[in-house]
Structures are given as structure tokens and as C-alpha cells.
């Protein structure tokens, strides 16, 4: 007998994505869409249009890990699959999730992702081997971090065949907005971890990021898309450390309860 599954989908202004991502998991016993309470497009209405097949709730958003860690214990079933709105499972991944749930031998499983940027699937730059833990038991939780939190609390990690296709780019306006948010969250987390920025961080770390992604990991083989992606990656690193430098001089640190 297959274990019952809750699919959690955190969402913020995802009216262009939410219908398709929900439809890709309607076979699950529960689809739980958690909408950021500041979302101001039709995400909530579109998700609610599925009726009893989909559970939709608005919840105060602080940062990603807190949102997910609120949703996990509020899910109905003991197995969770976490989906971002800009991801889609391929047919093989869907079949493998169902197969694993017939007789799971681990309590967490990682999934491969293929990143699509400017309409092209990137095969180099270190982006083709992207893996994320997405299927896990309900007792697992995300690290309490503002950005790039990972699942912890599992005892044995497995992997699932198939992949998630990750559509990272809608347009430059939304991409840059997301990049800026992550740079701010990354800087805040770094500050809380006791890191401080200096001239070396601000100047050399972005250069290192670009060289690693574009040259040493062969991002140049992805053409213009690879170049643009590597440059934006370097910019995000620059922005993170510039903000981190500003935090130590700014009253903004008080809003993070930093002393």
C-alpha cells in the first residue's frame, strides 16, 4: 500500500505558475498551497479554484525556512514533497516517487534539477548537477536560516531517478527582484553568523564566482545564456557582500535584533 503524500507548494505572486504546478501533483493525497500573506496577484484565487482537491491557506511570510517549517507540521500526512512554483517534475520522477512510497527504505530523498535560464537548459557552470532534498518524512525540518536552508533531521538519505525542471527565469524584472531579495537575506544571515565584509570580499569574491562558474566549470559552453547567468551570479555575490558591509554601519541591523 502506497504511503500517503502531502505536496507543499509555497507561493508568492505566482499566478503565472500556480495552476500548472498544482496540476502536476493532483495525484497526491493532499496538495497544500501556502500563500504568502503579502501576495497581491491572483495566486490565492487560482489555487482555490481547484476546490476540495487542493488546500489553500495564507500565512505570514518571514523567510522561506520559517514558512516551510510552519507548513510541514500542519500537513495531513507523514510524507512530504516540497515543490517550488517554478519547478515541474518529469514523468519519470513522478513514477519514481509513487514507486518509492510503496516501500520507502530511507526517510529523505534528493532530486536532481535541470535549470532553464533564458529559455535554455544549462548543462555547464556547475548547474547540471544541482540536487535538492524534496521528499522526506514529516519530522524533518529546514534549517532556521534566512536563505539556502537545507532539510535536516533525517537518518538515511536516498535519491530519486528523474528530475525537476527548474524554470529560473521569467523576465529580467522578476529575476533581478528575486536576486536582490536573496542577496539581502544572504547578507542578513551572514551578519547573524558573525561574518563581516571587507574590500577583499566585495571585490574578489564576485570575480572568483564568475571564474568558477564560467571558466572552470565550463559555463562558456552554454553560450550567451551561460555568460549572462555567470555574470548575474557574480553580481549577486557582490551585492550580498556590499549589503553585509552596509549592515555593520547601518541602523538596519537593529531590525534583525543584532547586537
What mean pLDDT comes out for the span 20-42? 96
**pLDDT (tens digit per residue) in 75-121:** 999 999 999 999 999 999 999 999 999 999 999 999 999 999 999 99
Q: Give residue 126's pLDDT band: very low, low, confident or very high (50, 70, 90).
A: confident
Helix (H, G, I), strand (E, B) or coil at 25: coil
Indicate the range of 19-28, 38-47, 97-106, 245-254 predicted with least confidence.
245-254
Report the pLDDT value the prediction gives residue 248, as an integer from 0 to 100. Answer: 85
3-state secondary structure 83-147: CCCCEEECHHHHHHHHHHHHCCCCCEEEEEEEEEECCEECCCCCCCCCEEEEEEECCCEECCCCC
Report the pLDDT value the prediction gives residue 250, as an integer from 0 to 100. Answer: 80
**pLDDT (tens digit per residue) in 202-234:** 999 999 999 999 999 999 999 999 999 999 999
Cβ neighbors of 20 (< 8 A, separation 6 or more) are 88
Given a cut of 50, whether residue 259 has pLDDT beyond it is no
Q: What is the DSSP string of 63-89?
A: -HHHHHHHHTTTSSSSEEEE--TTEEE
Report the pLDDT value the prediction gives residue 168, as an integer from 0 to 100. Answer: 87
List the grid coordinates of 105: 527504505
What mean pLDDT comes out for the span 46-53? 93
- Alpha carbons 228 and 127: distance in angstroms, whole number: 14
**pLDDT (tens digit per residue) in 140-189:** 999 999 888 999 999 999 999 999 999 988 889 989 998 999 999 999 99
Given a cut of 90, whether residue 130 has pLDDT beyond it is no
- Alpha carbons 123 and 117: distance in angstroms, whole number: 11
Residue with C-alpha cell 529546514?
142
Burial of 82 (0-12, 13-18, 19+ CB in 10 A): buried
What mean pLDDT comes out for the span 62-73? 95
Amino acid at each position: 500500500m502506497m504511503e500517503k503524500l502531502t505536496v507543499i507548494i509555497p507561493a508568492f505572486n505566482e499566478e503565472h505558475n500556480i495552476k500548472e504546478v498544482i496540476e502536476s501533483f493532483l495525484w497526491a493525497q493532499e496538495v497544500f498551497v501556502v500563500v504568502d500573506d503579502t501576495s497581491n496577484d491572483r495566486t490565492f484565487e487560482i489555487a482555490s479554484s481547484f476546490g476540495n482537491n487542493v488546500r489553500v491557506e495564507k500565512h505570514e511570510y518571514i523567510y522561506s525556512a520559517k514558512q516551510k517549517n510552519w507548513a510541514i507540521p500542519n500537513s495531513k500526512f507523514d510524507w512530504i514533497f516540497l515543490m517550488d512554483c517554478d519547478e515541474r517534475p518529469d514523468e519519470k520522477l513522478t513514477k519514481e516517487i509513487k514507486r518509492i512510497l510503496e516501500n520507502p527504505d530511507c526517510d529523505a530523498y534528493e532530486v536532481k534539477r535541470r535549470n532553464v535560464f533564458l529559455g535554455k537548459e544549462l548543462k555547464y557552470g556547475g548547474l547540471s548537477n544541482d540536487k535538492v532534498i524534496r521528499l522526506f518524512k514529516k519530522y524533518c525540518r529546514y534549517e532556521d536560516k534566512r536563505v539556502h536552508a537545507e532539510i535536516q533531521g533525517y537518518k538515511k538519505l536516498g535519491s530519486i531517478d528523474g528530475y525537476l525542471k527548474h524554470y529560473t527565469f521569467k523576465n529580467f524584472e522578476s529575476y533581478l527582484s528575486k536576486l536582490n531579495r536573496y542577496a539581502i537575506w544572504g547578507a542578513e544571515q551572514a551578519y547573524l553568523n558573525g561574518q563581516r565584509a571587507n574590500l577583499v570580499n566585495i571585490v574578489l569574491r564576485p570575480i572568483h564566482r564568475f571564474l568558477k562558474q564560467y571558466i572552470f566549470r565550463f559555463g562558456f559552453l552554454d553560450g550567451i545564456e551561460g555568460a549572462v547567468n555567470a555574470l548575474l551570479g557574480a553580481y549577486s555575490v557582490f551585492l550580498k557582500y556590499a549589503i553585509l558591509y552596509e549592515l555593520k554601519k547601518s541602523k538596519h541591523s537593529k531590525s534583525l535584533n543584532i547586537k
